[in-house]
Chains A and B, each alone.
Chain A
């Protein structure tokens, strides 16, 4: 079967510095892949290229049989690729329910309706999505006041509102302590199962990586240096020397 996402020869440089260097890989539909690597290896840049925040200098990105490199972020969203950000990106002046509502409105391309009230727009669906991510009782108030973990859950709800097939999660457990990490990991796994999502995520927390990923891709200096199942990657000498250090090497 055709892969959902095919990346070929993707490169991107910034004023002489090559952030992403001739990267090629493919994601099957339903696959869950982790992207790991040292700081500055090119993970965020790769995410930005895939989500349309940046244009590549060369190479192609093929999604569902369409070439999408060079498409705008908004276009790529509408095609079914949704992403989160390392620094949680939500509409902090709006309430949680409004955050989800606007994502639903945008997805249905109803955002130019100037006379239709937004108060009850897709309210049931928005409430359901909030419940799915564990925010059932947190509809109102400014979401800038939500706790950190709740903001991350809200961001997930926003991405789900776009009915994506491919989810790009940028350090989904960043800044959380152990229990919250486990909660978010459990949530991500459940959502992926329930909605048959394809997942590509980058992470520094190895426990989260190994809980979620089927395959792990290791990036170093803009190139893919290893790709394989988590056990293989974790035991690899080179990966240990450039990234994992001594603590995560042994399989627990």
Chain B
């Protein structure tokens, strides 16, 4: 990121930290929730935007981490720190296991890939739902209490902010890395990619694992934020949220999904005030964006901004 970008990001983080410390509780909770949703959406962006691999099963890894951390804490009595730290690697392991399978089969067939990711997340959902003895099925798990200094919602929010900010920085780094460029090349022209010596399968698998890891981070953060979790977090409709955030916001830019999360949240809270059918509004918006705005809303804003700049530049040029 360039200097201007780093400075703006730092200002943003500081501003959010202040909100966490001094704003009324409802905003603190909102901030935590949104930060978690943002990281969730960003983790999927590595797969969808950079890698061009559409996944409707990202909730699997979110849920694996959430359940793993929760169970380690509540059943096995692990200390909170260790329980938290264990979540994301286990999610990544799940992504490795499943990724190895589907990437082998379908790394060129996007439709098949989509269906298989969906199938796997449903598998995880059913596993959590049915395995009552371990997961308490539909009853869910409660009592996932962050202890010590994190017991305070404000400090938990700061903690979430720190984790999310670091994760976003890492994801950005990965996007502009050698690996990120390789992924983009594979997305752009898979054939030429193999004809420069890039093994499509292994690169896509690594992307899958990294995306799963960061989904796991957001899942663990969520478990301790909400205090209770249920199988619903693994369901396909849960996968739809980060997916839609990416689509609506725009997969091609780094900040697109962030924007998408805000739009989604705004629709649900604002439309939700007037009617129960906020989901309908979300659906309509997704449809409109899909048809008319393939670059997403953020992408559109970027394009408009670019246009203004080119027109201004043309005007100031001597004819």
Contacts and interface: CB of A to CB of B under 8 A. Distances in A.
A114 B189 contact: no
B318 interface: no
B193 to A, nearest CB: 8
A51 B192 contact: no
Nearest to A158: B196
16 contacts: A51-B195, A73-B194, A82-B195, A89-B195, A91-B193, A94-B184, A98-B181, A102-B185, A102-B196, A103-B196, A105-B182, A111-B179, A113-B178, A114-B206, A114-B210, A121-B181
Contacts of B202: 112
Contacts of A102: 181-182, 185, 196, 198
Contacts of A209: none
Contacts of A116: 177-178
B188 A93 contact: yes
B166 interface: no
Interface residues of A, number: 36
B189 A121 contact: no
A94 B188 contact: yes
Nearest to A51: B195
B138 interface: no
Contacts of A105: 178, 181-182
Nearest to B207: A114
Interface string A61-77: 00000000000111001
Interface residues of B, number: 28
Interface of B: 173-174, 176-182, 184-185, 187-189, 191-200, 202-203, 206, 210
Given A77-B196, A105-B181, A111-B203, 5 more contacts: A91-B184, A91-B185, A107-B196, A110-B178, A121-B178
Contacts of A117: 173, 176-177
A113 B176 CA distance: 10
B188 A74 contact: no
A106 B182 contact: yes
A118 B189 contact: no
Contacts of A162: 196-197
Contact of B174 (A103, A114, A119): A114
B178 A111 contact: yes
A74 B176 CA distance: 23
Given A74-B197, A106-B196, A119 B176 contact: yes
Contact of B189 (A74, A91, A119): A91
B192 A89 contact: yes
Interface in A109-133: 110-119, 121
Contact of A112 (B176, B179, B188, B192): B179
B165 to A, nearest CB: 17
Contacts of B178: 105, 110-114, 116, 118, 121
A49 interface: no
A161 interface: yes
B188 A111 contact: no
Nearest to B174: A114
Contacts of B181: 94, 98, 101-102, 105, 118, 121
A83 interface: yes
A105 B193 CA distance: 11
B65 to A, nearest CB: 20
B177 A115 contact: yes
A78 interface: yes
B233 to A, nearest CB: 27
Contacts of B174: 114-115
A211 interface: no
A119 to B, nearest CB: 6
- Among A72, A92, A106: residue with most chain B CB under 10 A: A106
